[in-house]
Amino acid sequence: MIINQRTLKTSFLLTGKGLHSGLSVKIKFNPAPENHGYKIRRIDLPNKPIIDAVAENVVSTERRTVLGSSIMQIGTVEHALAALYGCEIDNCLIDVDAPEFPIMDGSSISFVQKILETGTVTQNAKRIYLSFPRKKIKVRDEISGASLSLTPNESFSIKSSISFDSVLLKQQGAYLSDLSLFVRDFAPARTFVFVREIESLIDKNLIKGGDLDNAIIIYDQVIQQDKLDNLSDMLHVKKRNANHLGYMMNKPLNISNEPARHKLLDIIGDIALVGYFIKGKIEANHPGHAINNLFAKEIRKNIILEKRSNTLNMSGFYWNEP
């Protein structure tokens, strides 16, 4: 079956808070022509510069994915891109009036709901599916042990596992057997952070907009009562006994493995920067934005290598149609 490219039926607007900047952000998702891909326009800057949402344009992966050029940067793009990719939108121009996307509730669901409400239109051009039927692509960080791999397969799936030195979040896994399940099973999964990490993030001038409305906060190691009280004040939550470990949240977990599902959501947002829909089995161990971006870059590098190879022997690489 041949599948054509899709874009939004019309534009839609969302407003929210930047997780790291704390700024009020307006973001507008617009229809785009065939073979446009995902592009982001900073409408608050002179001449309204546009950047392609591709892996080579990533300039930072600390706690988020940041795209940048000599004249602009735009951060925290992964949740919105996961929504576009998970809803199988091929082409979209995103307007934003701040240096980062709004965090919303820390998941992709706000973006997904607006996409579904707005609807999509089918375009004339065929969708390009990327696959490497004769090779396995793998990246690994020898220090952290993080790794991602792509093996040949006729369909798309992701299997991911995470583990932490934590009494509350030791090891979790998540599995996406088909992209069509993203909206129901993964889009609502919220980002998370450990209380023990928050102080260093504040020192790095990050999470100015963080609170219990946009993240799962995990208190898994006892800290001094006065420090916990200060963090509670900053997060606008009720103070608690520092000896009582647990989750600090306004809403319960959506599902027991919500952190693992969110990490898988992040993988989708980061591989959206490959620029094409993928066929193959992805396996991830200890994923994060840094290793995810290396993986996306490696896939794009193999596109170039295989294209060059094909000019000589016409083997090893295909733009597959379903």
Tell me which residues are annotated as active site: 289
Q: Do the Cβ atoms of 294 and 287 come closer than 8 Å? A: no
Neighbours of 85 (CB within 10 A): 23
Q: Which helix (H) or strand (E) holds 185?
A: helix 182-185
At residue 114's C-alpha, the angle toward residues 2 and 188, to 5°, is: 90
Largest CA distance in the chain: 68
In sequence order, the 6+-apart residues with CB closer than 8 A to the CB of 120 are 6, 7, 8, 9, 87, 89
Q: How many angstroms separate the CA atoms of 177 and 157, rounded?
A: 5
Residue 87's alpha-carbon distances to 80, 82, 303, in angstroms, are 11, 8, 24
Closest Cα partner for 193 from 175, 171, 211? 211
Give me the residue label for tokens 């001449």. Answer: 47
Give me the residue label for tokens 């470990």. Answer: 245
262 annotated as a binding-site residue: yes
Annotated binding site for Zn(2+): 79, 262, 266
Annotated binding site: 79, 262, 266
